[in-house]
Structure formats: structure tokens, C-alpha cells
Chains A and B, each alone.
Chain A
């Protein structure tokens, strides 16, 4: 193919990356404004995430299917042209390239690289993910690239650690995460094995320039571009002195006519045939199949292991969540709700509530409660783990129930009139009423004792947030 076309394809890819990254940033920044919240499209429309929440609507299915078809037709275009984390990694790779070039143990020069190429961990991880998406073990949640980029953008501690890891990766190899670890990339890689439009080497001068392929996909010695690893980036193809790269239709089970035979390993002759490429690809297919199956086994194991089984938590979940088990399963731990909540009352759960709840969001009502008219967390949740309700539904679905501790409440304990809880209760009929007591306060005013109307309480926690007693005398619990 003429270098001009390939160059233009590369420029097109970079423009596409910038556009999609801008879209990611636009949505992310918008979701910080409670009056402009949007759900993240990179998580909303994703074939792997779709598996966690098969109740998704038609649009989700359509876009996820389109991404799958894109990978079957054109290869890992998502990875090279769309994925925002991929673009971030590419930017890091670019910035750190001087350091990487000086790194004596960079992957490019490291013998272990061959092993990694042959046995990428990503397939094992994909296998694990494919099993665990149907269970409560949070595996995909910690492997999906675009969940990570939200955690990075949110500047959460765990996101910054991951960013540090990416920086470290960039010192060793370009696109290290994408090539060897990313399970989403592995999924698209599997789909890209079906030979349709693929990048190939049809002529070669053995210059070795394509060895710089960021994903180790191009192998000029075997005249092969590994389609499951190729992210169709067109970075070096235009520099091929033999203009040997072709990006065109490839029919199944058959090498196209213009493919040149690879040289013998010794590079002495030029007419000798090396082992059939189809047989080597069959071998790698088998190896990869074994890894995938091993991944299934690991997934099964993780699901089976007791510590990953759900512990019944007493955590208060964001508004609208009524089925804890379903929530834990669907929650992507992207922490978008934590970041977007205008009242900043959605907190990150640690390991103290079991591994199944790790990084799920829960509510702590300080300094605000859950606002009666606010639905931001429902609007930004990309997997609808926090269901998107109507305002009326949201205002009537209990998060928990408030209870007054009469041993702490100043009205009962100190005979002081207070009633802040009744005052701030946003439920129109008020879930906290008061009873006029025969007792009086210091000034001789009759005491007004707060009293719960449990059936009216929605557990929004505004009373808890505003209670002036120390410790707080009214608390919301499941």
C-alpha cells in the first residue's frame, strides 16, 4: 500500500483518539455538574459490561453489538482508535519515550518478552472475567480499562496508583497494558482472529523497522501480523521501504496470493519455505484456547472461594437500590457516583464489609443527607446498578429508616426543645412528627418530643446530618 494512504490512516486514528478522548472528558466534566449529569458512554455501551447487566436496553445492545461487529470486520479498532485509556497510555508512552529508550531492561530488549507475546496474561484474565461477570466476584471491575480511566479522572487514590502503574509500564514497553493485560483488548483480539479486513505483510526487505510495533503484533521474520494483537494503529507501516503492508480483505483458511514466503531462520536462502504459517497460527490458537480455559477455571475458583461470597452488609446504598445482591453484582466500582454526588455523601467501601463489597458506594450522612430532589447518582451510573427512577419513585423508595435514640436525644435526655429533625424532614407529610409532653423545658415551654412515622420515612438522612446532638441522636439504618 502506498505510504500516503497509511500515513493518512495514522492521522485519522490520532484525530479519532482525540475526538473520543474529548468525548470522555466532556462527559466526565459534565457529570460533575448536578444539573448536567450524563452517563459515561464508554461504560454504558460496552460488550463486556453488558454481560454484567443483561437487562440493558435496546440501544445498549445495539452499540455493544456494533463494537463486536467492528472488531470482527476491522480488527481491534476500538483499542487503537476509540479507547480513552488506550489514548492515555499512548500519550504516556510518547512522553516517556526518551526514558524508555535509555532503559536497559525495556521489554523490547528483554528475552521475557517472547514468553509474554506467546502467553499474554490478558486471555487468562478474559477467561476469568467471562465467568465472574455472572457472579458477585468483582473481577471485571478491576480489569476494565474504562472503569480505570474514570477512577483516574476522579483522582481517587486507587486511580492514581493505577496511573502510577501505567507510568511504570511506559518505561518498559509501549501499550504494555493493552497488549498483555487488558481483558477487553483480549476480547476484541479473539474476535479479530476471524480473518476479514486485516493488516498483513505482503512484501518485505527484512529491514526490521516494523519491529517497533507498539503491540508486538508485526513479525517480519514470519511475514505475519498477529491480528489478535494488532490495534491497527498504522504507526510504522508507512515507513516500510518495501511498501509491503496491506490492509484488506483476507479470506478464511487461505493465505492471499501476494504474500511473500518468510525467509528461513538463517536468512541464507530465499526460496526455502518455512513451516506453514497456518499451522503456526493453529498452534497459537490452541495455546490461547488453553489460556482462556484456564481463565474460566480461575473464574470458577474465585466464585467458589468462600471469601468472595457475599456477606450480608448493612450498608446504606445510594437511592433507588432495593436489591443488594443485584447491586453488588452490577456495580462497576467506577466511583463515578462518589465523584458526582453534589452532597459528597457517597463514600467508598473498603474491605471491612467483605471483598464482594470492595469499592462499592455507600452513604454516610455528613454534612448533608440525600437531597430530596437530587438524582445525580442515578443519572451517572453507567450500568444502572443505581436504577434510574422517576423523581416520584426516588422520593418514595426508602434508603433505610431513621430511628431516634432517646438516650441521646436532648429532648428526652436534657428536657430541651429542639426538633431540628422534624424541621428538616423533606417528606411532605413529614416522617417525624412531635408529641407535646406534659413536661416542660427550663423556660416553662411544654416539651415537644420528636416521634417517628416509620412508614413515611425514606431514610434520606437529612435529619441525621442536621442533628445537633453529640453523638447524633437520630440515625438511618437498613
Chain B
């Protein structure tokens, strides 16, 4: 039994849930990355998902889907400190079109959740598309569940959002930003919003913590909002001058590969990022070689 099978068994055993798509269908060198350059965000998201197999490959009829955008800060959408509401709306839309029975949208925010959800426009966008928006700032046993992190280096166990654990599909919707300690924050770092731990502490060994949580809780599909990337003073930003229009949407079945692709937009090599190097070691697939398709609309 290899590590992955072990993890899968352990996950099914410990959650006792329908975890049939808890792990990505295919990761590693076979992962596909779809890159779409366009100013039309909605079309770009749809095409990017098509490039990685279409939404039907990830979401089945009757599935319960958890969507985790970056809603960390109470910051208006134009500053791009949070995921674009159009990206959220489009992805929720796609899930329902694929037959999802329920879609949950949430993030454990840094700022006040209500302020953040509303100001970023994500609450309205998600609800418009029919998703249920959850406030998950209150860490309690109704919302969070302790899981063991097998092979975890920094995290041995961690509290994880139950909706992520109990959904059939987990979709990661980060926004790409500069970040002093992590280097860049994209899909892998976005998973800090599913933990109930004191995540400020994670910064003391951030790269290990990020790669541990991603190895423990894989994202089935990652869609990176890189329509405009925050190149400095992240992750809060707060000035349009910190943004660079990149008009890019990246979709991938592998979170590490999505991040590797997004890193290049910042002019960085994926290996420069500690958590991406560790992700490769922890079995999240190669960050150097993956099949990619790119189109421009």
C-alpha cells in the first residue's frame, strides 16, 4: 500500500463519509494545467475548466461541493486582495450546471467575516449563483473536526472545516498575490482558510505547514484568479498601483501545478517557493513538468 492509498483509506475510515472524490482523480505528472488569457473573466474561467477536462470531470450529479475563495480581508474587490466575485459566481454556476446538489462557499477570514464577505462582493455573487454562503469564523465542533496529518512535518494534527471534509468535491479559488513570508500566496496558501487552528502560529514554519495541509486535504480543482496580480505590499494591498493586469485564469486538477503556473506570472521559478518544493516532496506531483494548454480569447 503506497502512501496515497493509505491516505485515502485513512481518510475514508476516519471521516466515515463518502470520500469518493476526496482525492484528485489524477495528480502528478499527468496533471493538466489550463491557462486562459482574456479580459472576459467569466469566459476565461469556463474555458480554463474546459481545458482541464471540463467541470463534469470533477463534479457529478447530486454532488455536494465546497468552494473556497480567498475572502481573507475586508477589502473592496478592485484591490484584488480577494478572489474576484465573478470567478466565484462562474464556478458556482458551473457546479450547478454539472448537477451539483449543493454548493457551499466560505473562508475563515482574517478581518471580520461579515464585513469581508459583503465588501468583497463574494457573498452576493455566490448567493446569486445559488450557493449557500457560510460564516466559519467561530471554531467549534459543529464546523471543525480534528484530523491526523499522516507524514505531516509541522502539522501532526489540525482542525479542518467539516464542509471541506464532508463534501464530495473541494474547489480551491485563490487569488494570486505577493506575500512576504510565503513569497507568493495562491492555491496552496489559500488552504489556511480551511483550518480552525491558530494559523498565525503556522507562520513560524509556514512552508511546512502549507505543504502539510495540502497533502492532507487535496483540492480537487483549483482555479487561480490572476486577472490582476498583486505584485507588492501583499497580501492586503490597498492600492491599484500594486496591481499588474495579467488577465489570466489558471485551472488545474493539481493545486501545486496551478501555483507553479501562477508563479511564472510574477517572474518566479516554482522552485523558488519553499512550499512548492515541499509539495513535490510530499507527493503533490512535479512542479516542473506538467502538461499544460494555453489559449487566448
Binding site for B on A (CB under 8 A): 34-35, 342-343, 368, 371-374, 410, 416-420, 422-430, 434, 445, 448, 462, 466-468
Contacts and interface: CB of A to CB of B under 8 A. Distances in A.
Given A343-B112, A419-B181, A425-B236, A372 B203 contact: no
B180 A448 contact: yes
B233 A430 contact: yes
Given A373-B74, A418-B203, A423 B235 contact: yes
Interface of B: 73-76, 110-112, 114-115, 118-119, 179-181, 198, 200-201, 203-206, 233, 235-239, 242, 274
Given A419-B180, A428-B239, A373 B115 contact: yes
Contacts of A374: 74, 112, 115
A426 B239 CA distance: 11
A35 B200 contact: no
B180 A422 contact: yes
A388 B106 CA distance: 33
Nearest to B233: A430
A423 B204 contact: no
Nearest to B185: A423
Given A368-B112, A372-B238, A428-B237, 6 more contacts: A35-B118, A342-B115, A368-B111, A430-B233, A466-B200, A468-B204
A452 to B, nearest CB: 15
Contacts of B114: 34, 342
Contact of A373 (B76, B110, B179): B76
28 contacts: A34-B112, A34-B115, A342-B115, A343-B112, A368-B112, A372-B238, A373-B76, A373-B115, A410-B204, A416-B204, A416-B205, A419-B181, A423-B203, A423-B235, A424-B236, A425-B236, A426-B238, A428-B237, A428-B239, A428-B242, A429-B233, A434-B180, A448-B181, A462-B111, A466-B110, A466-B200, A468-B198, A468-B201
A127 B200 CA distance: 55
Nearest to A468: B200
A424 B110 contact: yes
Contact of A417 (B73, B111, B179, B206): B206
A418 B119 CA distance: 28
A466 B111 CA distance: 10
Contacts of A417: 181, 203-204, 206
Q: Which of A374, A410, A426, A434 has the most CB atoms of chain B within a 10 A radius of its CB? A: A426
A448 B206 CA distance: 13
Sorted nearest first, the 9 A-B pairs with minimum C-beta distance are A468-B200, A428-B238, A428-B239, A468-B201, A420-B200, A416-B204, A419-B181, A418-B203, A342-B112
B92 to A, nearest CB: 22
A429 B239 CA distance: 9
A29 to B, nearest CB: 15
Contacts of A428: 233, 237-239, 242
Contact of A420 (B119, B203, B239, B274): B203
A419 B198 CA distance: 15
Contacts of A343: 112
A466 B110 CA distance: 8
Contacts of A422: 180
Contacts of B119: 373
Contacts of B76: 373
Contacts of A420: 200, 203
A468 B115 contact: no
Contacts of B115: 34, 342, 371, 373-374
Nearest to A368: B112
Nearest to B232: A430
A466 B198 CA distance: 9
Contacts of A416: 204-205
Q: Which of B114, B115, B119, B179 has the most CB atoms of chain A within a 10 A radius of its CB? A: B115
A423 B181 contact: yes
A372 B72 CA distance: 13
A372 B180 CA distance: 20
Nearest to A442: B205
Q: Which of A416, A417, A423 has the most CB atoms of chain B within a 10 A radius of its CB? A: A423
A368 B111 CA distance: 7
Nearest to A414: B204
B73 A426 contact: yes
Contacts of B233: 428-430
A410 B205 CA distance: 12
A410 B206 CA distance: 14
B75 A373 contact: yes
Contacts of A462: 111
Contacts of B73: 426
A393 B242 CA distance: 22
B74 A371 contact: yes
